[in-house]
Amino acid sequence: MPELPEIYNLAKQMDLELRGQTIRGVEVVQEKCLNMSVDQFTKLVVGRQIESVTSRGKWVFARLSDGAWLLLSLGMGGDALLHRDSESLPGKYQARLDLDGGRVLTVGFWWFGYLHAAMDGDLCNHKMTAKLGPTPIRDTDFTEARFLEMLRGKRGSVKGFLLNQEQVAGIGNVYVQDTLFRARLQPNRKLESLAEGERSQLFRGLMETLIQSVRLGGLAGEKDLYGCSGRFKEFLVGYREGQPCPECGTLVEKVKVGSTASYVCPSCQK
């Protein structure tokens, strides 16, 4: 499932390629990925120009002319692909947008993907995004000071905090693994037990993990706007069950935390 680095990069590519383009037509194969009927959706977006594209957490936000927004979540195994013409379209997609000069954007997903539209004034009522917390990297004011402030007085597990999209938006079960290893924290560590230094380490671990993947174009296997796979695949402990910890050589263990799997070094992570 694409997380912050993949969506951040995708939104940047979409901004570069689609800014100024007008949506000429829409085809929706899977109506349930919309938040309105196909007719309403078509009326809302066709004829509008794409003014800019950015991301918030795992969502792409495209600002359209005259106060409309297009919101895209790729869910599990999804992709948004740009095609120069309609000749090379993939066999299967859930929706397509026809753009200027014969260019086509297709959106496909296996599971839990959404293509929503909203007007400016209704964004605050969009249930899936209205409460998103700050997005690291994208929000330049996501600083260590702000992060420490966010942690103040919070209870519960450190993993639960990182995965809660209303706290920090964009982190899922992929990037949480090495974040916690870099911070030398077990997923179940209670927030209220963290020392000042551990909180700072957590911030640095999070940023290092995300920045490394953004630089490598996201996770290997996830596609960008051009259909190219990301190059990030060297996890420190994530998905490395039974292999030696890069720091101390202890074998990495896979443990169940709530409903999700965690990969930890039992010696390094306290």
Give yes or no for residue 132 binding Zn ion (CB under 5 A).
no
How many residues appear in the chain?
Answer: 270
Residue numbers 178-207 binding Zn ion by CB under 5 A: none
**Piece in contact with Zn ion (CB under 5 A), picked from 31-39, 129-137, 214-222, 257-265:** 257-265
- Give 75 or 246: the residue with its C-beta nearer to Zn ion: 246
Using the minimum distance from each CB to Zn ion, give the nearer residue, 165 or 179.
Answer: 179
Q: Which residue is nearest to Zn ion (CB)?
A: 245
Distances, alpha carbon 142 to alpha carbons 3, 10, 78, 132, 174, in Å: 17, 20, 27, 14, 20
Q: Which of 124, 228, 248, 251 binds Zn ion (CB under 5 A)?
A: 248
- Residue 220 CA to residue 211 CA, distance in Å, equals 15
With b for 16 or more beta-carbon neighbours within 10 A and e for fewer, the 2-15 pattern comes to bbbbbbbbbbbbbb
Where do runs of H (alpha helix) occur along the chain?
4-18, 38-45, 144-151, 158-163, 175-182, 196-215
Residue 236 touches Zn ion, criterion: CB under 5 A: no
Question: For Zn ion, which is the closer residue by CB, 42 or 179?
Answer: 179
Is residue 71 at the binding interface for Zn ion, with CB under 5 A as the rule? no
Contact status: 267 vs Zn ion (CB under 5 A) = yes
Q: Which position among 247, 253, 255, 261 is part of the footprint of Zn ion (CB under 5 A)?
A: 247
HSE-up of residue 141 (Cα within 13 Å, Cβ side): 4
Q: Please name which of 47, 49, 31, 48 lies closest in space to residue 39, comparing C-alpha atoms.
A: 31
Nearest distance in Å: CB 235, Zn ion: 13
Q: Which residues bind Zn ion (CB under 5 A)?
A: 245, 247-248, 250, 265, 267-268
